[in-house]
Each structure stands twice: as C-alpha cells, then as structure tokens.
Structure 1
Amino acid sequence: MAGKRNPWGKPPGGSGGGNDDGGSGGDGGDDAPAGGNDAPPPRGPRNPWLPGGGSAGGGSDRGRRSANIEDIFKNRGPEGPRRRGGGGPGGPNFRIPQRPGGGSWFPLAIAAIIGVWVLATSIHFIQPREQATVTWLGGKYSRTLNPGTEWTFPWPIQSVSVENVSEIRRETIGDGAENLILTGDQNLVDLSYLVRWNIKDLVLYEFQLADPQETLRESAESAMRAAIAETDLDTVLSGAGREQVETRVRERMQTLLDSYGAGIAVQGVEIARTEAPQQVIEAFNDVLAARQDAERNLNEARRYEQQLLASAQGSAAEFNEIYSQYRLAPEVTRRRLYYETMERVLRDTDKTIVEADGVTPYLPLPEVRRRSQEAQGPSLTVSGQQGGQ
C-alpha cells in the first residue's frame, strides 16, 4: 500500500507524521501539527467529502462528521468536480459574449426584434378582391384599406381586419333537419333552401350588427315563411311556383337587411327540397297520386270535349253549306239528299231496288252473278255465297 493514497487516512498503527501521500512527517497535511512525528494519533477515518481535505487530525471544527448536501454540491459546476470554484458556460459566472468594441449585444438584439415587429404589423398587402378595416387599439374605426400595399401604425396601436368582399358565400337552411312551414292552404311542407350572398359594405358588415350571419339566417327564415304562407301547396311543389317564391324571398330579404344596415347583398335564393313531413309522408303520397289521377282524367275529358266540339262545329258548318244550296235549288237539293242518304244506308246490302215503271221490282242480281261464275268453269272459286229474296 506504500505510495498509494488512502481516502480514509492512515490506518490505525501506521507511522505518524505522514501526509496523505504516505510521505514523511515534515510534509504533513494541513491538519498535521508542525512537529511531524509528535502529531497526536488520528481520531478516526478521514471523510473525503469534507472541504479542505477533511482530515481527522484537524481542529474541533474539522472533526469527524457526515457530509451534507451543501458540502457535496458546494462550488461544483454542472460538469462535475473539475468546475469547482470556476466559471464557464452555465456556471455561476456565465456572461453574455461581448462585441468587438466591448459593448453588449443585448440592445442590438432588442432593437432588431422591435424593427421586425414594426415592419410585420405595419405593412399590409391587400389582394384585388379584398378590403380591410383599420381600428384604433382594436375598437374605434379609422379607415378602409383598398387593394394594394398599405401602411398603418403597428399592432396594437392599429389593428387590421381583412375580408373578401367579392366572394359569393352560401348559407344553407333546413339541410339535414326538419324545417316545417305552413302553406297558404293550411298544409305543412318540409323545405330546405340555399341563400347566396356577399359583402356589400364592409364597414356596415363589421360594425353595424353584432352577428351579421345570424341576422342573415333569421331574415331568410322570416322571408321564406311569409312567402310560403301566401302560396298553396301545389304551387310550392311545382317548378314555376318555386321560381316565384324564390324571387319574393330574395326581394324581402334584401329590403329587411337594408333596413338593418347589414351591409349584405343577397344574390339569390334556391329551394333545394320540398316534401311532406315524415309523419304523414305516406298519406301525402297517396293524396298526390289521387290528385295526379284526377288531373289525368280531367285532361282526357277535356280532350274528348274538344273532339266533340270540333265534330259538332264541322257538322254545323256542313249543314249551313247545304242549307245555302237548298235555298238556291230546293228540289234538286232535296233529291240529292235523298239519294245520298239511301246510298249510305243501302251500300252494305246485297239487294238492289229499282223504282221505275215497267221494271220488275226485284232482280236477284247476286244470284244471277253467282250462277254465271259457276257456269264459267271449275277454275273459278267463289269466296262466299250471297242470296236474297
């Protein structure tokens, strides 16, 4: 063990006066008396964690005791015992690097941060379809920024709110939820519709109303219910009726929003769905089917009426024409009517009647014709047999 350091001091019975490195008494440690070999025996093992070596042979204030947390970490840097008592990065004596002239970089860093903040919040690039409103300290209106590059005071002195005033926005009402409206003929209809709008006046849109979009929805519902209440169910369900309702709703909405000063322009209203409530949908479909059948029967009756009317008008015109000819030649017209009537009546009979003096009243012409055909030869066949009396 000679020449090796013992962290616990000299063992009992060792040579007195030696230092920690096992040297002679003249080279004793801080705790050893100047006499060297005359030093008193150690009072116990040496504590290596005590400050100044912590030898057991010291005074009363350096006596044997246990190490506490202050002793262990006293004068220790973040990298271990080799930092004890010294400065360095992260140590107790850490300092910010200085400029070549000896000044500090801190003021320049603060000035750069302030400059970037001022530029970023003072320059605004407004796009062609946009406008922006400027307010003082986030409250009082200052001015409106048009498209282009604009300058303002930095935030929070002046705040800028940018909106796209040309964008056509859409608000759907009644989509996915039941929206029952009473019609003019006391029927309920489940209706959903779409409202297309854009910002007409940005200052009014942002500062006149607390919630412009909610106001738009409420005005749309009010205008739609008023328009449906003036229209019967069949008109609402038909295509032409929907166009009329949509036009009235748009006009009423625009009038109502202008009276509020909302700064909104209603571009159009489109009805997407019109149907009966779910509770009565089957009965409603039956009613619609019955109405369609009634409409079809009514159309057929009207068509038959038109045909009869046209036929009657043709017969009346023909009678008037015949009557005009009768007035010119009554006897001739009378005979002509008689012959035409008899021809129409007897054209499908197999009898021939001749009314004249000296002529047999009845001539069996069909029978004579048949016998004549049979006499001509067997090659001729008769398709049917006719006879008379």
Structure 2
Amino acid sequence: MNDNIDGNIGRRSPRGLRQFFEAISLMANSPWGNGPKGGDGDGSGDGKKPGPRNPWVTPDPIDINRGRKPRGPSALDELLRKGRGGFGGGGSGGGSQFDLGDSAKFWKWGVLAAAVLWVIFSSFHIVPPEKEGVITRLGSYSRTAGPGVKLTWPAPIERIRLEDVRAIRTMAVGSPNATDENFVLTRDQSLIDLAYEVRWSVRDPELFFFQLSDPEGTIREVAESSMRATVANFNLTDAIGPGRVEIEAQVQQRMQDLLNQYRAGVSIQGIAIRQADPPSQVDEAFKEVTAALQERESAINLSRAYQQQVLERARGDTAAFDQIYEQYRLAPGVTRKRLYYETMENVLSNVDKTVVEARGVTPYLPLNEVQKRIPATPPAAATKGGE
C-alpha cells in the first residue's frame, strides 16, 4: 500500500502534492479522524493531548474510571430521540430507531388516499328527480344536468348546484298583520290597503342563477309594479269587491310578461289577494258605505227575483190562453159558457150573499146561514157513507 501511495505521490505535480497533504491534514483534524498522534475511534489518542470526540459515539464508561467527566448526548441524538417518541419509536437503550424512509412512504400513501377520496366525492353527484343541477366550470356556467348520477371534474374545477324546479314558492307582499300599510291608488282616486301573495316556481335554473343578481327581489318589485298598474284601471267598489278575481288574473299576466322580458327563468303560478281594505283612518266610514252597497245589492236582487216571477206567471197565462183559444175555435158556445161559469165561481166564492134572478125563486137566499147550520162532516165518516 505504501508503494502505491509513494508511486501516486511521485506521479503528482507539486501543486497536486500540496492539495493532497492539505486533505490529509483536514482529515486528521476532523471530528471523524484521529488526533495528531493517532488514536481510537472515540477521539482519545495515545499521546498527551486527546483528539476531538466523535459526536456520533456515546462516551465510553472507561473515561469515567480515568477520572474524565462524561459528556451527554449530542443535539442530533436528542432530535432523533424526540422524533422516535413522536412516531411511536422506543427511547434509549436498544429501542427501535426512527426510519425516515418509512415515514416518507407513509405520508406519500396518505396524501394519495386523500386525493383519491377528494376526487371521488367531488366528481360523482346524485341529482334527485325533482331537481336539476347547474354545473359551473371555474365559476362560469357550463351545463345543466338532469336527474340521475352525474360525473364532473373534481372541485374546484367544476361545481354543481342543485335547484328544485317543481316546488311552488310563495312570496307575501304586504301583510294583513303588518303595521305598515301598502297603499294602492284606484281609478277613482281612492286608496286601498292591499295584501297579496305571489306563487312562483323556477322554470330555467341557468337563467335564474346567472341572469339576475337578485331574482327574488326582482320578482317582488315586478309584483308591486304590476299590481299598481292593474288596480289603477278599477274603481274602489270593484277593487274591494267583485273585481278581485279579474285583478288577480291581470296581475299574473303582467308579471309573466315582464319576467320573460328580463329572462328571469321564473313561472308565475298565481296571485291571491288576502286583503283589500280602505285606510285605517277612514275604515269606519268605508264600512258604512260597504253596508249600504250590500243593501243596495240585496234590493236589486229582490227586484230581479220579483221581475222573473211576474214574467214566468205571464208566460204561463199566455200558454193557458193559447190552449183555451184552440178549444174556443172548435166549440165557441160551450167554451164561452165554461169561461163564464169559472169566472163567476172565482168571483163569488168569497161573497156572503148570493142573488138569483129567476121565476119562482126567492130573490134573497141566505145561503151563508144555511151553510153555517150544516154540521161539518168528518172526512172519514163521509168516505164510509160514500162506500
């Protein structure tokens, strides 16, 4: 070996020899090498001055016997010991040591499992039958998904938002129990306090989410403007009475037309007026007016019923006269006498005195007194006697 070293030294240049000896000197003074005079691996040489201590080797108990104070573990040993304790490793004295390679593998598998779960749960979606899913890609609209199992790119690349397109939603405008009154002007310059409900549903989720910044606020404003424009064509009597049904129909049509122009993606299902009262300051006066209007309507209905009754009676008399006329054309004399007898019977049926002008008959017959003297015969006895 010395021959090899000598040969190598001989072949080196003076500059190379200087670098070689500097490297040997550094190795001799390093904590992993021997002292100037050589020594064992723990850094204690055979000479008078011991070499530097190896930081990776625990001090030998022999140093205690030599009267030398033992040194504690190095900072690197303490760091490794704490790492082993944090990962379930043993402490000192023959325990298991911490393996950096196993920890790296553990973290790699954990991150991979978390990524797989994230992709699965953010990519597969179940859309119920009554809903539709609006899918956005990086915040922009991408497509609309129907009911069923749908697949998307994992979040945050694509997201899905479900919306119930079959639910009927209700929006109240003006409440009967609210302190603030919702005044609407009628055609005859009168004010009424209106409270109504708007029933609506989502027709197109894409337009509902992306066309308007505040869809529900827009629906409320459209409802108020449509109601005011419609009530302005009705007077007070119709607005608080029989004109409610027509007002509701016109407001629904107006709202649907305006929302279609706004491309709101909403369908108006109906309008229901819950309250149509005058202002509270004149409520008593309006109640009296309402009562008078109801009495007027009642009188008009009674007169119409009497009119209908008279007309029906006249029609019946006309039909009876036509029948009698047909009989009169066939037998005029007999029909004339029959009409005379029936008329006299109707006229004299409630008269107490009867005068008969005929030969051999007393001019005055007290027939009423005779009838009073005749005892009334029970119906059962009269029927038995007849048998």
Distance in 1, Cα, partners of 2:331 & 2:272: 72
Deviation per residue, 1:133-180 (Å, 9 max, x gap): 333333x22233333333333333333322222322222222243322
Distance in 1, Cα, partners of 2:238 & 2:207: 37
SS in 1 for 2:82: coil
For 1:134, the aligned partner's letter is I
Q: Kindly report which structure 2 residues correspond to 1:1-389, keeping only aligned pairs within 5 A, or say none.
A: 94-95=82-83, 96-97=86-87, 98=98, 102-104=102-104, 105-138=106-139, 140-175=140-175, 176-177=177-178, 178-238=181-241, 241-308=243-310, 348=350, 351-356=353-358, 359=360, 362-363=363-364
CA shift, 1:222, in A, is: 1.8
CA shift, 1:262, in A, is: 0.7
Change (3 A) 1:85 1:165: farther
- TM-score, structure 1 as length reference: 0.58
For 1:94, the aligned partner's letter is K
CA shift, 1:325, in A, is: 9.3
CA shift, 1:233, in A, is: 3.9
SS in 2 for 1:94: helix
SS in 1 for 2:170: strand
Change (3 A) 1:150 1:356: closer
Change (3 A) 1:180 1:354: same
Distance in 2, Cα, partners of 1:131 & 1:346: 88
Measured on the aligned residues, the alpha-carbon RMSD in Å equals 4.3
The structure with the greater share of residues assigned to helix is 2
SS in 2 for 1:190: strand
For 1:132, the aligned partner's letter is G
Distance in 1, Cα, partners of 2:149 & 2:361: 121
- The answer to whether the Cα contact below 8 Å between 2:129 and 2:148 also exists between their aligned partners in 1 is yes
Change (3 A) 1:352 1:195: closer
CA shift, 1:344, in A, is: 5.8
For 1:190, the aligned partner's letter is D
Change (3 A) 1:280 1:369: closer
For 2:125, the aligned partner's letter is H
For 1:197, the aligned partner's letter is W
Structure 1 stretch displaced more, 321-330 or 121-130: 321-330
Deviation per residue, 1:215-265 (Å, 9 max, x gap): 1111122222222222344444456x4333222222221111111011112
- Structure 2 unpaired stretches of 5+: 1-71, 88-97, 377-387
Distance in 2, Cα, partners of 1:152 & 1:144: 11
SS in 2 for 1:273: strand
* Identical-pair percentage: 42
- TM-score, structure 2 as length reference: 0.58
- Tell me how many residue pairs correspond in the alignment: 287
For 2:265, the aligned partner's letter is G
Change (3 A) 1:224 1:361: same
Distance in 2, Cα, partners of 1:173 & 1:151: 41
Distance in 1, Cα, partners of 2:341 & 2:355: 13
